[in-house]
Amino acid sequence: MNNWVKFILIFLFLLVPASGCIEEFIPDVEETKEMIVVEGLVTDQNRTNKVKISKSLPIGRALARKPVRAAKVTIIDDLGFVTTLKETDPGIYSTDSTSFRGVVGRKYALRIESSGFIYETDYIEMKPVPPIDSLYWEKILITQSDNPAEIEEGCKIYLDTHDPNRKCFYFRWEYEETWEFWLPYQVPNNRCWVTEKSDRIMIKNASIYNQPKVTKFPVTFITNETDRLKVRYSILVKQYSLNADEYKFWEKIQNVSENVGSLYDVIPMAIKGNIRCTNKPSETVLGYFSVSAVTEKRIFIKDWFKGIPNFYWYCPTDTIFGRLPEEGRNVTWWVIEDGSSYRPPYWVTTIHRECADCTTRGTNIKPSFWP
């Protein structure tokens, strides 16, 4: 939808060069009040469940967490068991993975006491979640051409799942991408791994179908703009069961958050989560307390994709013959090719540290799941 606006604007700019403009703008918003943000997740996994409490940030401020410390956080189940969470990091409250684990079919509620306010949720039932049937990928042609050298390919990852028991109708997914990359130079750290988490909302409503079934849900599209597909790539997809309320919450957030403000966008609106302040109902509480069962699946992709460019073409900045100066070495410049055994000796150097040390982007410790 947004394409229109962009397009029309581009078109107009073209007719009337530089008539339009985009400028940074800080709206005169009177609400400077910080709101409390609660992000909680209880799963059926044998892991620590965390509740993160922080303060919201005003617009135009760097996204740094402002933890809310020393809160009293408890999770209560429908049988009356109360689990108290410990503040393991500032603003992060955790369960003990040995004594607490969510159970499908049981209901959980969150209760927080902080600075005299009490925040509570209703009891939320943990819905079961089926396993991911398959996680698979397809090559996608990005640029078609008669000349094979110009063909560019990307990769699209899909997911299928279904619930034969007809219990789970709403799904949410998160993924974690990990890929290996090599620096094309003989440097000490030239083989690394990067991990990135999804920052998009991925949900699906399967309740409108006879059987909850998700077919070919597009998880992500990997373009040739990054080096994800260059060596080996892996994606871990976590599948969460949602109840209808949580699904609606994510759907609204999704519609409202994906680029807002032009005339053709959905009118934005404050979206309420499921946590409320019981002793001061007018207090806005942001965030969501999710109760979900989780299943996960990982795949690896190692294939030849056409048209993936060399991402290090810009690296060599100088070639030094004879004697290598020491001043600034490994501080402002780095050697990426050592030709000292040649006559005359030479060194290819770079001023880009990421060309000489892959740990600037990732880790050189091979992840445990990596083959």
Partner 1 sequence: MILILLFPFSNFTIQSKENENITGMRFRNLILIAFFLIFYNASAQQNYLVDWNYEGQSFYDFILKAESKFPVKFFFREEWLKGITLSRYENKRYLNEILDTLLNGQGLFHYSDESGNIILTKYFAIKPLIEEKAAGESYIPGLEYEEEDETKGAGGNIVIDLGNPADRDKPGIVTISGYITDQHTREPVAGATVQIPKLSAGDISNSYGFYSLSVPRGSYSMKFSFIGMKEKTVDVNVYGSGELNIEMRSVLIPLKEALITAERNVTLQRFEVGLEKIDVNIFRLLPTAMGESDIMKSVLLLPGVHSVGEGSAGFNVRGGSADQNLILLYGAPVYNSSHFFGFFSAVNPDIIRDVALFKGGIPARYGGRLASVLDITSRDGNRIEFAGNAGISPVTTHFVLEGPIKKDTIFYIIAGRTTYSNWLLGMLQNRALRNSKASFHDINVRLAYDINRNNKIDLSSYYSYDSFQFNGDTTYQYQNNIIALRWRHFFTSRLFTSLTLNNSFYGYNVSSTRVSQEAFKLSHKINSTGLKADFNWYTGRNEFNFGAEMTEYNVRPGDYMPVGDSSLVIPNTIQRQRALEPSLWFEDKYTLTDYLSVNAGIRLTSFLAAGPQTIYLYNKGYEKGPSSVKDTLFYGKNSIYKVYGGPEIRLSVNIKTDTKSSVKLNYNHTKQYLHMLSNTTSISPTDIWKLSDYHLRPQTADQVAAGYYRLLHKNRIEASAEIYYKKIRDMADFKGGTEIIMNEFIEWDLINVEGKAYGIELMLKKTEGRVRYNIGYTYSRVLVRSTSSINEEIINDGKWFPANFDRPHDLILTFNYLFSRRYSFSATYNYSTGRPVTYPVATYTIGDIVIMQYSDRNKYRLPDYSRLDISLKVSGNLKAKKIANPHWIFSVYNVLGRQNVYSVFFRNDKNMVKGYKLSVFGRPIPTVSFNFDF
Q: To which H or E segment does residue 173 belong? A: strand 170-182
The 3-state DSSP class for residue 245 equals helix
Handedness of CA 259, 260, 262, 265 (dihedral sign): positive
Shortest approach of partner 1 to residue 182 CB, angstroms?
Answer: 26
* Least Cβ distance, residue 346 to partner 1 (angstroms): 38
For partner 1, give the closer residue by CB, 185 or 240: 240
CA gap 211, 87 in Å, rounded: 42
Shortest Å distance, C-beta 23 to partner 1: 6
**CA neighbours closer than 13 Å in the CB half-sphere of residue 33:** 7
Between residues 221 and 321, which has the closer beta carbon with respect to partner 1?
Answer: 221
The whole-angstrom separation of Cα 121 and Cα 75 is 10
Short-list 107, 32, 89, CA closest to 289: 107
- Supply the minimum distance, in Å, between the C-beta of residue 100 and partner 1: 21
DSSP category for residue 268: P
Shortest CB 358 distance to partner 1, Å? 23
User: At 154, is the secondary structure helix, strand, or coil?
Assistant: strand
Nearer to partner 1, 26 or 331 (CB): 26
> Residues 172, 203: contact at Cβ < 8 Å?
yes
Task: Identify which of residues 193 and 240 has a Cβ nearer to partner 1 in the complex.
Answer: 240
Choice between 201 and 351, CB closer to partner 1: 201
Minimum CB distance to partner 1 smaller for 177 or for 333: 177
**Residue 306 CB, nearest approach to partner 1 (Å):** 16
Which DSSP state fits 358?
Answer: G
Please list the residues that pair with 92 across neighbouring strands: 52, 89
CA 99, chain centre distance (Å): 29
Adjacent-strand bridge partners of 221? 156
The nearer residue to partner 1, 201 or 324, going by C-beta atoms, is 201
Q: How far apart are CA 85 and CA 83, in angstroms?
A: 6
- How far apart are CB 323 and partner 1 at their closest, in Å? 41
Q: How far is CA 223 from the centre of its chain?
A: 17
C-beta of 366: minimal distance to partner 1 in Å?
Answer: 23
The nearer residue to partner 1, 216 or 366, going by C-beta atoms, is 216
Task: Choose between 65 and 191: whose C-beta lies nearer to partner 1.
Answer: 65
Token output for 95: 């369960």
Q: How far apart are CA 105 and CA 21, in angstroms?
A: 55
Angle at 34 between CA 118 and CA 244, to 5 degrees: 60
Nearest distance, CB of residue 268 and partner 1, angstroms: 5
